[in-house]
Amino acid sequence: MEEFRCFGEDRRKEIVAEYHVKPIAHVRLLNHQEKHSCTGKLLTESYYCFSYQKKLGNDKVIKTFFCGRPTAEHFLKLLNMQKLKMFDPLRHEEGRPGGNGGVGGGVGGNLLNWDPLAKELSNAINLTLIYKDKAPEGTIAKIKYEIESSPNNRPLKHYVKSVNTIMKGLNRKNLQEVISELKSKGNNIRNFDFSIANTILDEYIKEDDTIVSYFG
């Protein structure tokens, strides 16, 4: 990911004027993870991921950056958008899920009425974001924003295949293997189910047996 700096309120105002900026996720920082903000600082506790795309010119590539909560809240204020709920993959208090029920927080959607497949894909993308050292760019950022803008709606089937293809970049590990690796580093990760996504992916596998599920 190219160097992208957002230190200072004036710089953030310039960014919002020059780019289409969208909040993608707000997630917990886990044990043995080190991620840096676009302010240049080391992130702690939780962090946001935003996408950005130039408003003018021919460069329409969607890119992303990380930042901490105070910087994120300034961006959201400039964009006149609500804060995102934090995605917390950990178990808390006698094994009950923490955070927000395993969903990505939404972009203004009703968290109580998520479509089951939308919830699975949101969780899958959040776990991918947590595991990778850099912010996800392009297609995965676009899909996540669209899913969480209308969390009640059933995602398009090809989104399942797209997310699965992107997850091949997790060092060829499926999400259950990723969860096991995160657990081995002292993170009490709760269980995640991707049965609906796998059922849909099976339809693609019947047509192309080179496809492998990375949902696990």
DSSP per position, 104-164 = ---SS--GGG--HHHHHHHHHHHHHHHHSSS---THHHHHHHHHHHSTTSPPPHHHHHHHH
Q: What is the pLDDT of residue 166?
A: 87
Are the C-beta atoms of 175 and 192 separated by less than 8 Å? yes
Q: What is the pLDDT of residue 56?
A: 93
Tell me the per-residue pLDDT of 176-198, one tens digit each, with 9 for 90 and over: 999 999 999 999 999 999 999 99
Whole-number percent of the chain with pLDDT over 70: 88
Instruction: Single out the residue of 58, 89, 67, 61 nearest to residue 23, CA to CA.
Output: 67
Give the phi and the psi of residue 164 in degrees, each rounded to 5: -60, -40
Which H helix or E strand runs over 66? strand 63-67
**pTM confidence score:** 0.85
Instruction: Single out the residue of 188, 67, 176 nearest to residue 124, CA to CA.
Output: 176
Q: What is the pLDDT of residue 110?
A: 42
Taking the C-alpha atoms of residue 24 and residue 136, their distance in angstroms, rounded to an integer, is 10
Is the predicted pLDDT of residue 95 greater than 50, yes or no? Answer: no
Is the predicted pLDDT of residue 37 greater than 90, yes or no? Answer: yes
Q: What is the mean pLDDT of residues 120-149?
A: 86
Which tokens sit at 141? 């950022």
Q: What is the mean pLDDT of residues 52-72?
A: 91
Q: What is the pLDDT of residue 54?
A: 93
Taking the C-alpha atoms of residue 151 and residue 101, their distance in angstroms, rounded to an integer, is 14
Q: What is the pLDDT of residue 107?
A: 52
Is the predicted pLDDT of residue 103 greater than 90, yes or no? Answer: no
Tell me the per-residue pLDDT of 137-161, one tens digit each, with 9 for 90 and over: 778 888 988 998 899 999 999 999 9
